Amino acid sequence: MAMFAKKESWDNKVAADVGAGPAAAPAAAAKIGGSPKYGIAEAIQLMRTLPHDHVELVVRVVRATLASLDVRLPDIIEDANRKQKMVRDKIADFHAKNAELEKQLDAHRKEIATLEADLKETSEVKDRLQQAEAASSPLPGVSAAATKIPMTTLLGTAAPPGEHTPPKV
Q: Is residue 26 part of a domain?
A: yes
Q: Is residue 14 part of a domain?
A: yes
Q: Is residue 5 part of a domain?
A: yes
**Does position 55 have pLDDT exceeding 60, yes or no?**
yes
- The whole domain housing 12 covers 1-36
**Does position 35 have pLDDT exceeding 50, yes or no?**
no
What DSSP string describes 35-49?
-S---HHHHHHHHHH
Question: H helices within 54-72, ranges in order?
Answer: 55-68
CA distance 99 to 93: 10
pTM: 0.49
- The one-letter code for the residue type at 72 is R
Q: What total number of domains does the chain contain?
A: 1
Q: Is residue 69 part of a domain?
A: no
CA distance 93 to 106: 20
Predicted pLDDT at 37: 84
Top-confidence range, 5-19, 22-36, 51-65, 132-146: 51-65
* Residue 52 pLDDT level (bands cut at 50, 70, 90): confident
Its sign, for the CA torsion 123, 125, 129, 131, is: positive
Q: Are 20 and 9 in contact (CB under 8 A)?
A: no
DSSP percent split of the chain into helix, strand, coil, nearest 5: 70, 5, 30
pLDDT in tens, 151-161: 666 666 655 55
